[in-house]
Structure 1
Amino acid sequence: MDGETTPGGATPGEASPPAEQGAPARHPSRKTVLRAALAASVAAPAVLMGVPALARTAGTAGGTPELTPECDDGDDPTPPQMEGPYFKPNSPRRTSLLDPGTPGTRLTVTGYVFGLACRPVANTLLDFWQADVNGAYDNTGFRFRGHQYTDAGGAFTLTTIVPGLYPGRTRHIHVKVQAPGRPVLTTQLYFPGEPRNSTDSLFDPRLLMTVRDAGGAREAAFDFVLNVPQTPGPSPTGGPTTPPPGGSWAAGTSYAAGARVTYGGAAYVCLQNHLAQPGWEPPAVPALWRAV
C-alpha cells in the first residue's frame, strides 16, 4: 500500500490492530444509541450521551484499574483489511454508483463515522469500489466506483447493487475511510448469511453489515469507528426517567432479535440483542426497535 492515494490525496497510515474475533453480542453501546438519535434527527438524551466504558483493565501491580477509552464499549476501531488488486484512485465524487438500466438487486447502505469518544466525524472521505452483478471489476473506467464525504452529522448514504460473486471470495464491498487530517482506513464490508463467509479466509464477522429486504431491494447499515481522538461528550445527568406509558416493554429485560413488545399502544420487533435500559424505549431508538 506504499504510495497509494485516495481522492483526497492522502497516503494511508498504519491502522490499529484488530480486536479479538467472535466476541459475544453486547447490549447497545453509546455509538448505537447515538446512531439512533442521529437517524431520528434529534439530540441523544443527556442521560445516554455520557455512558461510561463498560470494561476496565486491572493494573499490572494490582493498583487502580485503568479506564478503557471512552468509546471502548464493544466499539473498538473498525478493523482494517487488505486493499486487494482492484483499487483505482481518482474515482468520481458521487453517492450513487448506478447508471440507467444497471442490472442487479438495488442496495442502499447507510451509516455513520464515529471517533473514539463515539462522536460523529463530519467531512470524512469514503471511497467505495465493488464488483458488478457478474462478479467483475471495471479496471478501465469507474463503474461501481465512487467517493463521497460524511455530512455535518457524520452520516453517509451509498446507492449501489448487491455485488456479484467471483472465485475465492464471498460477497463484499471495498471502502477507504479517512477523517480530515488522519490516516486512511482500508477495509471491506460483508453480508450476513452468505454461504461463502465460512470459506473466505479474509472474512471478518466484525465487518458484517446489518441487511434487510426492502420490497425487492435491500437495505444495509454499517457504522465506522475511526482511531480519531475526541473530547468525551457530556456526563450523564442521573435524573429520573418517565415510566413507560403502558405495554410489555420493560427496562432491565434482555431482548433477543425478533422479540416483540408493545409500548404506548404500538407493537415493535427487536432488531438486535440488547439489555433494555431507561431512555431506550422503542420509539426513541429505531436502531433497536422497528414498529410493526
Structure 2
Amino acid sequence: MENETSTGHVTRKTVLKAALAAGMAAPVALMGVPALARTMGGSEGDLALTPTCDDGDDPTIPQMEGPYFKPNSPLRSSMPDGPGTRLTVSGYVFGRSCLPISGVLLDFWQADNNGAYDNTGFKFRGHQFTGADGSYKLTAIVPGLYPGRTRHIHVKVQAPGRPILTTQLYFPNEPRNNTDTIYDPRLLMNVRDGSGGREAAFDFVLDVKQNPSPTPTPTSTATSNPPGGTWAAGTAYTAGARVTYGGVGYVCLQAHTAIAGWEPPNVPALWRVG
C-alpha cells in the first residue's frame, strides 16, 4: 500500500472527505478507487499503513485494553485536565465499504504529561459520538511516557448495535516504537506541528458491512421504536433516569437527548442494566 501524499493519486477516501466537508455526494466514478485510512503527511518510513477502506479489506486492528480502563467516562471531546503539549486528534469512522457511520461511540483514555493515569477520577478520560458525517475530534495533550511503553492513546470504538473495538493509537518517529512489544505500525496516527500544539489524524475502519451508494449516507442498525419498552428517540434523559427496552430495565449514566442508534443495549457509556 502507498500513501496518497507521496504518490499524488487521489483516493476514494479523499473524495469522500471532500464531499462530506462540502455537503455533497461523492462522484460515482470515484467510488471504486481504493482509499487509505490515513491522508496527512508524516508516515514512519516504509512501515505499513492502517488498513485501506476498499471493499473486503481488513478493519482497524484491535489491541489489548490494558489495566487502566474505567467505565462511565464523561461525555466530552475536550480534556483540558493538565499541562502538556496540546494535541488535537481528528478523523472519521468508516464501515467496510468506506462509507461514514454516524452515532459511533469513541471512549478515549490516556496518561498525563508525566505518564500517569488518573485511576481515582476521570482526568484525560472522555467519550463522544461521531456526527452525521462520521467525524470525531478529540482535544487533549501529547501523553507522557511510562516504563515499558511507547507513547500511545487508548480508545474503544462501537458502532450502534455492533461489538466494541478496543485498540491503541501511536505516534510516528518515537524511539520507543522499536522496543514496545505491543506497538503496531498499522495504528500509527499522522502527526504534524500545528498552531499552538500538535495535530493528528486517524480514520477507523470498523467491521460493518455496507452497501456502497453514490451518496455517503451514515448507516444505522437500530430503529427509533423500542420493542416493548419506554425508551424513545427524541427524549431528553437525565442521569439516573430509568427506562425499559426489550423487556430489560436500564439506568441513565449521562444526560443526553436520545437518537435512533443510541438505544440502551448499544451504548454502555450512556446506560447500564439496573
**Structure 1 Cα separation of the partners of residues 181 and 97 of structure 2:** 32
1:184 paired residue number: 164
- Give, in angstroms, the shift of residue 233 of structure 1: 2.1
**1:217 aligned onto 2:204:** no
1:68-102 CA distance string (max 9 Å, x none): xx943696300000000000000000010114xx3
Aligned alpha-carbon RMSD (Å): 2.3
1:43 paired residue number: 25
> If the length of structure 1 is used for normalisation, what is the TM-score?
0.62
2:220 paired residue number: none
> Is the CA contact 2:11–2:34 (under 8 Å) kept in the aligned structure 1?
no
Q: Residue 187 of structure 1 aligns to a residue in which SS?
A: strand
**1:161 aligned onto 2:141:** yes
Q: 1:195 to 1:36 in 2, by over 3 A?
A: farther
Q: 1:32 to 1:80 in 2, by over 3 A?
A: farther
Q: 1:79 to 1:171 in 2, by over 3 A?
A: same
1:31 pairs with one of 13, 23, 44: 13
**Structure 2 Cα separation of the partners of residues 83 and 29 of structure 1:** 32
2:106 paired residue number: 126
- Give, in angstroms, the shift of residue 40 of structure 1: 4.6
1:178-226 CA distance string (max 9 Å, x none): 0000000000000111111111111111111111101340011100000
**1:208 aligned onto 2:188:** yes
Which runs of no fewer than 5 residues in structure 1 stay unpaired? 1-22, 54-69, 236-292
Q: Residue 96 of structure 1 aligns to a residue in which SS?
A: coil
> Is the CA contact 1:124–1:179 (under 8 Å) kept in the aligned structure 2?
yes
Look at both structures and tell me which one has the larger radius of gyration over its CA atoms.
1
2:71 paired residue number: 89
User: Counterpart of 1:136 in structure 2: which amino acid?
Assistant: A
- Give, in angstroms, the shift of residue 34 of structure 1: 1.6
State how 1:142-153 maps to structure 2 within 5 Å: 142-153=122-133
**Structure 2 Cα separation of the partners of residues 28 and 225 of structure 1:** 19
1:19 paired residue number: none
- Give, in angstroms, the shift of residue 25 of structure 1: 4.5
1:31-79 CA distance string (max 9 Å, x none): 34323432454432332124379xxxxxxxxxxxxxxxx9436963000
1:237-278 CA distance string (max 9 Å, x none): xxxxxxxxxxxxxxxxxxxxxxxxxxxxxxxxxxxxxxxxxx
Q: 1:148 to 1:167 in 2, by over 3 A?
A: same
**Structure 1 Cα separation of the partners of residues 207 and 10 of structure 2:** 20
State the 4+ residue runs in structure 1 displaced beyond 3 angstroms. Answer: 23-29, 39-43, 50-53, 70-75
**Structure 2 Cα separation of the partners of residues 40 and 217 of structure 1:** 27
**Structure 1 Cα separation of the partners of residues 73 and 59 of structure 2:** 25
> Is the CA contact 2:106–2:155 (under 8 Å) kept in the aligned structure 1?
yes
**Structure 1 Cα separation of the partners of residues 79 and 14 of structure 2:** 27
**Structure 2 Cα separation of the partners of residues 76 and 231 of structure 1:** 17
Q: 1:39 to 1:221 in 2, by over 3 A?
A: farther
> Is the CA contact 1:50–1:232 (under 8 Å) kept in the aligned structure 2?
no
> Is the CA contact 2:27–2:214 (under 8 Å) kept in the aligned structure 1?
no
2:176 pairs with one of 196, 200, 210: 196
1:79 pairs with one of 56, 61, 69: 61
1:268 paired residue number: none
Q: Residue 186 of structure 2 aligns to a residue in which SS?
A: helix
Q: Residue 34 of structure 1 aligns to a residue in which SS?
A: helix
Which runs of no fewer than 5 residues in structure 2 stay unpaired? 36-51, 216-274
**Structure 1 Cα separation of the partners of residues 34 and 87 of structure 2:** 35
The share of aligned pairs that are identical, in percent, is: 74
